[in-house]
Structure 1
Amino acid sequence: MKVKIFAPHWGSNELPPDVFIARVLDAGFDGIEMSLPLDVAQRDDWVSRIRAAGLDLIVAQWETVFHTDFEAHKRALGELLNNACAVKPRLVNSHTGKDFYSPQQNEELIALADAISKEHGVPIVHEIHRSRFSAHPMLLLPYLCRVPSLMLNADLSHWCVACESLLQDQPEMLERVFPHVRHIHARVGHAQGPQIADFRAPEFEAELSAHLAWWDRIIELRRAGGAEIMTITPEFGPAPYTFNMPYTRQPVSDAWELNVAMLHTLRARYATADQ
């Protein structure tokens, strides 16, 4: 099984496409994960540049966060997912629904995503994320029972916050969730926040070890299931995910540097998975 590692566009949005793509290539990533403009010309320009560089593409859909009204959210989700799938990326990672929508409403959104996925022949995964239908394990598990084909992006840093722990008391829950995972966001969270300052620092050894164990298990399951490719995006983000010093507003760490460091950590760790 090939483990492909993607660079997040989040945090580098101010860079021109050619500058960002050169940065990704120089770091050694296999592809880019990003949201795409709804303007077709701008969208296609990004996609052509990415493919000309020999990079793979995952499209992120997060913009529905701005739509709290259900009908507006549903319309936006349909437009954004169709726009994403039209360029035939490896997969689409979607921020779907809200934790305050009813189960019936969220399942309607999941069904819409599934229909769009089948129409275009592009997998759509739903991100584990605060405030979405997957915001807490006990919110998500009923959906896995009712929609057993549900595919997830595991950003488990969010559940560290939601559960105020490293989930050490919920191993059975994780074993129910992991078989649904098709993509990973490799950011390391802690019991009070979704991002530690620097995963290489010794004071965060417990947090890093917990996340690596979760990713190991997901990789193991995907390999045992015969998957040819597993995708991971290191996703340390800019402020406010990266803390700034008070008054000076200087960041305590560099998110891009952390993502490149995580790339090298994952490459070394999962080299055997590529065999």
Structure 2
Amino acid sequence: MTIQFFCPRWGSDALNWETFGQKVSAAGYNGFEVGITQATTTAQLQEIWSVAEKFNLRIIIQHHDTNETDYAKHYDIYSAWLEKVKGMPCVKINSQTGKDFFSFEQNAALIAVAEKVSAQSGTLIVHETHRNKFSFASHITQQYLTKLPDLKLTLDISHWVCVAESFLENQQEAVQLALNRAEHLHARVGYPCGPQVPDPRLPEWQQALNTHLGWWDKIVARKRKEDTLLTITPEFGPYPYMVQVPASSNAVAHQWDINLYMMELLKKRYY
């Protein structure tokens, strides 16, 4: 089994690509995860891949911005996005797919389009567990995983913890199914009142951290048996995910430092 770590571009958007690439490489990441939209220009794409090549970094493409509420339009926009990125060289594509208010059949049709593009391109497309997408809750995602045997996930279980207002103690069957189908991991720690603890390094958040580590351990154990690649993006985010001191713009912790801490913690645990 190989584990590769990816730095989120999210939160470092203010850095130019050259500086970002150098910083990511120096920190010991294998690559970075970057959102690409329909508005991303050819020149911007060339810059992204140029920096990746210069610093010997791999890329995970992220989809996050199809928010059209009219389903027919949503389907067309998402399909066009998949066509835009399907020839791009990347490790895999991480897609925040569909909407929580679309029907099962509608969301399943979006997943089917992604599977078709994945087959055409040879690039694995994984669907992120995320609030307001088809995969917003464990018990709902369980239905998709049961009926769609080829569906693979990016597991960001912090969202499910937040949605369920629990550590999912009563949803173990759904969680286990998701652990069995996870191919990419967003290593963010949630708690019952939010998708991101303020600082996983502090004693008061150790229960949340250890609960997530227990889930991740099971994914790693499975991938060891399969002897296949596991990709991990430590994905603690900036404001509003990162809590700020009231009446100020000062974050209670530094996003970059926390993500680096998470990578080093997981490297020590799994290497």
Provide the TM-score with structure 1 as the length reference: 0.95
Structure 1 residues 73-82 or 131-140, which shifts more? 73-82
Please name the residue that 2:164 is paired with.
Answer: 163
Contact 2:33 2:60 in 1 (8 A): yes
TM-fit CA distance, 1:177: 1.6
- Identity across the alignment (%): 37
Report the aligned-residue RMSD: 1.1
How many Å separate the matches in 2 of 1:270 and 1:83?
A: 35
Q: Deviations over 1:164-221 (max 9, x none)?
A: 0111222222112211100000000000000001101000110000000100101111
Q: How does 1:12-91 map to 2 (within 5 A)?
A: 12-36=12-36, 38-64=40-66, 66-91=67-92
Q: How does 1:208-227 map to 2 (within 5 A)?
A: 208-227=209-228
Q: Deviations over 1:234-256 (max 9, x none)?
A: 00000000011111221111111
How many Å separate the matches in 1 of 2:141 and 2:235?
A: 22
What one-letter code is carried by the residue in structure 1 that aligns with 2:88?
V
Pairing 1:200–2:204 present = no
How many Å separate the matches in 2 of 1:219 and 1:77?
A: 31
TM-fit CA distance, 1:152: 0.2
Q: Which runs of 5+ in 1 are unaligned?
A: none
Structure 1 residues 9-18 or 46-55, which shifts more? 46-55
How many Å separate the matches in 1 of 2:26 and 2:84?
A: 29
How many Å separate the matches in 1 of 2:171 and 2:111?
A: 25
Pairing 1:257–2:257 present = yes
How many Å separate the matches in 2 of 1:80 and 1:246?
A: 39
How many Å separate the matches in 1 of 2:9 and 2:83?
A: 20
TM-fit CA distance, 1:48: 2.2
Q: Specify the SS of the correspondent of 1:63.
A: coil
Contact 1:154 1:185 in 2 (8 A): yes
Please name the residue that 1:120 is paired with.
Answer: 121
Pairing 1:183–2:179 present = no
Structure 1 residues 69-78 or 210-219, which shifts more? 69-78
Contact 1:88 1:120 in 2 (8 A): no
TM-fit CA distance, 1:85: 2.6
Q: How does 1:1-20 map to 2 (within 5 A)?
A: 1-20=1-20
Q: How does 1:87-98 map to 2 (within 5 A)?
A: 87-98=88-99
Structure 1 residues 103-112 or 164-173, which shifts more? 164-173
Q: Specify the SS of the correspondent of 1:135.
A: coil
How many Å separate the matches in 2 of 1:139 and 1:164?
A: 15
Count, aligned residues: 269
Q: Specify the SS of the correspondent of 1:238.
A: coil
TM-fit CA distance, 1:266: 1.0
How many Å separate the matches in 2 of 1:84 and 1:266?
A: 30
TM-fit CA distance, 1:79: 2.2
How many Å separate the matches in 1 of 2:162 and 2:259?
A: 21
Q: How does 1:130-141 map to 2 (within 5 A)?
A: 130-141=131-142
Contact 2:17 2:47 in 1 (8 A): no
How many Å separate the matches in 2 of 1:12 and 1:74?
A: 30
Please name the residue that 1:240 is paired with.
Answer: 240
Q: Deviations over 1:124-150 (max 9, x none)?
A: 000000111110112111111211110
TM-fit CA distance, 1:53: 1.1
TM-fit CA distance, 1:52: 2.2
Q: Specify the SS of the correspondent of 2:163.
A: helix
Q: Specify the SS of the correspondent of 2:174.
A: helix
How many Å separate the matches in 1 of 2:76 and 2:141?
A: 23
TM-fit CA distance, 1:23: 1.1
How many Å separate the matches in 2 of 1:168 and 1:210?
A: 10
